[in-house]
Structure 1
């Protein structure tokens, strides 16, 4: 394997000149730059990243902690694609760590990335997994403080982390759905929620109820039902809702999978009724579902870009004065 000394000998320059050429220094003549680059190509030279990292005191690595949770995989893929592109643009390697429902999983994931000497970390919080593993914000805060590198949280705010966070406002977004339905003339609006043991479900229920209240529509608890998160769960929840024989003309669902299952129940049990259905997530499959399902498009690209900008701003902050920022996004209605 060729070394920087081999390149310097072939190009007829010293090793420091080779280094300046490879680092893009402007203080090099064009003829010298050409000789060095030709030598690099001839010898198929590749810089020793480990040696460079030791010299510069940096690993040129960033980390991301993501939920090991199948229904989130399309959004996880979007996040990984964007942050991988950003890492490459900043000449950084990306390390990935997963967490699951087990108690210590989120904290161990952060510590693993810190042990790899990542310069900064993105942590994507999932409230459903967080309920299962009894996520402890105080413990999380202590770990973040102890590792002394920027940690940007996605969809959760940790005040002790200087609010380095990008959030999705579940309450305002569900309020937006309910307000649209009320203003479109729908009064009996049912809601299939996720289990109300989770914060995210509670926030979306709050948005639904506040939207009704703002439009002078009474909340009817018989129009609320809890469900698990898959298509079959939505199907059975909607069957139960219909069996209550409470007339409803619109239906809000916690996610698109529940909405797809609910649409099947409506199609089978009350095909004569026109029910306006809303999901959450705007899965492309909704374009092919009957009856039609409107949904919420989450601003993933915009929010992910904010996460990335915040991370690299704080990595590059030489004074280590992390910028306090709490950026919040609201979803957009997609009407079908």
Structure 2
């Protein structure tokens, strides 16, 4: 084993995430500083850099999973992480554009243990701040001077279109009763898998990867993205509020048609039928109702289905990663990171 492999494999997933933040956050801050003051103020609050009055704060900016995948994907094809920093910043900006809009759409008042941007600055201001971030992402890629910047912009644009389609389906599902499980999986692929897939493929592009390597890493990200969403949906029901930053049974209070819910509704079980009656009633759901809904999802097999699917998708993702023939160090770190985000407490 080489010194390089020992050094890379000695880093835990959390150390890798910290390394990524050290590389990406200064560049992200520099990019956000170029925004108009009104948009910069909201974006900085959303990232946790300052409070609503512009005073310095030290709130969590999230895990930075996607930009970390971008940097590691560059290394996985034999490139330098530093070459992929603009790509990682662009991915991070698009992700936070989606979070700003998602919070408005879902009406969530808490993210990362503090009030959401829209609940502080208003819905319209938060939407416009999200628009500013997604526009800035393309500016960052264009200004990178990388020979594959244009291709990276195409990949990112396609991912955003898929993301928006997935979000649209998610909203549409709120008013529908007849949602097939395959439809819900497609929605999750679009809403979450698309950007994680783009993070890996753009990272591989900026690392100088061969077309086959880029494709394998794209598929790795797509499968990992779905596994991530499966676990995230479990956390949306059973996650610890201390870890998630959201109230217990958060998704059930909103009658969200998440993957475990739809799996249970399509289970053809007595528990699934009772869940359908409860979920589709016209009255507001009480605390007792949502607790019962969580129990019914479990009884109908929705919780276990998600766990099995997440494990299967992770295994497929790791297979595609190995097919890209990455060096041992980046391979170990990508595998470790994938394991971390798909085996959270749920």
Q: Give the number of the structure whose alpha-carbon radius of gyration is greater.
A: 1
TM-score with structure 2 setting the length = 0.27
Higher share in strand: 1
TM-score with structure 1 setting the length = 0.28
